[in-house]
């Protein structure tokens, strides 16, 4: 079975594109030996349950499963502000629900790319993909190309649905803030996390560069540690952003 991605780079002989061979045979239990050494034990965080963003809004934000791969913490999740409680009596049209659903769709693409990234690290650890090739592939990913200071959803959503208008990348957060000032603390926090995620992405890149300069198990371990941290912060952030913004986007709209 091939993974036919038209935009994927050409892979050297013997290499497998990320996303291929991701069946049960490639999934390792914590503590068992993998190509790059033992799979790290996952540490729990606060999990959230899957439920609609608001009564009457048939969009379910992706919950945070509370699983963490890294022992390092970039931010205090407990300090995240909450937005206003949804109006229990409000109903939403299908068009309004679509506004919030697009956020989840864009985030699902980023989650898919993150799974590819973990697979890619496994291939580097196994020696089937050189670190330089891995770095080139990561550079093509949406999660690497997005300007996190501007917001993942804003940049991707504008490209997909805004075909007849030119909207600046920074339009979504200012609009939400102006339409409902109660969202201000949430927007501030999301912008701070965008900067933090950008820093973690830079750490992944530096680890890959170092592993190219000095190949070996130690370099692969650094790459894996950086990717594990990226996984923790990105999945946590996406879940938080969906929890807080799906309903406001449905209620207020994007444009």
What is the C-alpha separation between 109 and 52, in angstroms, rounded? Answer: 20
Q: Name the percent of the chain in helix, strand, coil, to the closest 5.
A: 55, 5, 40
CB 240 within 8 A of CB 81: no
Indicate the domain borders of the chain: 92-255
Distance, CA of 5 to chain centre: 20
Which pLDDT tens digit goes with each residue over 149-179?
323 333 332 233 223 222 323 677 888 999 9
What is the C-alpha separation between 116 and 156, in angstroms, rounded? Answer: 19
Which pLDDT tens digit goes with each residue over 52-64?
788 889 999 999 9
Pick the residue with more confidence: 157 or 73? 73
pLDDT averaged over the chain?
A: 72
pTM of the model as a whole: 0.71
Which pLDDT tens digit goes with each residue over 188-212?
998 888 888 888 888 888 888 888 7
CB 82 within 8 A of CB 244: yes
Name the 3-class secondary structure at 247.
helix
Amino acid 47: pLDDT: 60
**pLDDT of 6 strictly over 50:** no
Q: Which residue has the tokens 């550079």?
A: 139
Name the 3-class secondary structure at 16.
coil
What is the C-alpha separation between 29 and 224, in angstroms, rounded? Answer: 16
Tally: H helices and E strands in the chain:
7, 4
Pick the residue with more confidence: 34 or 239? 239
Pick the residue with more confidence: 144 or 140? 140
CATH entry, 92-255, from 1.20.120.230, 3.30.450.20, 3.40.50.1820, 3.40.50.720: 1.20.120.230
């Amino acid at each position: 079975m091939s993974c036919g991605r038209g935009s994927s780079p050409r892979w050297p002989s013997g290499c497998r594109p990320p996303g291929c061979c991701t069946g049960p045979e490639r999934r390792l239990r914590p503590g068992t030996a993998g190509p790059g050494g033992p799979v790290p034990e996952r540490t729990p965080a606060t999990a959230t349950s899957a439920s609609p963003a608001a009564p009457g809004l048939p969009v379910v934000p992706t919950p945070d499963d509370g699983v963490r791969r890294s022992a390092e913490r970039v931010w205090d999740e407990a300090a995240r502000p909450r937005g206003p409680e949804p109006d229990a009596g409000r109903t939403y049209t299908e068009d309004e629900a679509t506004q919030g659903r697009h956020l989840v769709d864009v985030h699902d693409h980023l989650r898919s790319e993150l799974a590819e990234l973990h697979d890619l690290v496994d291939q580097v650890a196994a020696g089937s993909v050189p670190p330089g090739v891995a770095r080139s592939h990561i550079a093509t990913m949406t999660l690497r190309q997005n300007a996190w200071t501007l917001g993942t959803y804003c940049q991707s959503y504008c490209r997909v649905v805004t075909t007849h208008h030119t909207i600046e990348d920074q339009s979504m957060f200012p609009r939400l803030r102006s339409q409902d000032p109660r969202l201000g603390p949430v927007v501030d926090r999301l912008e701070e996390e965008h900067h933090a995620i950008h820093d973690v992405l830079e750490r992944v890149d530096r680890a890959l560069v170092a592993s190219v300069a000095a190949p070996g198990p130690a370099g692969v371990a650094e790459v894996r540690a950086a990717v594990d941290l990226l996984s923790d912060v990105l999945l946590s952030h996406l879940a938080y952003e969906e929890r807080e913004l799906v309903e406001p986007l449905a209620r207020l709209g994007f444009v």
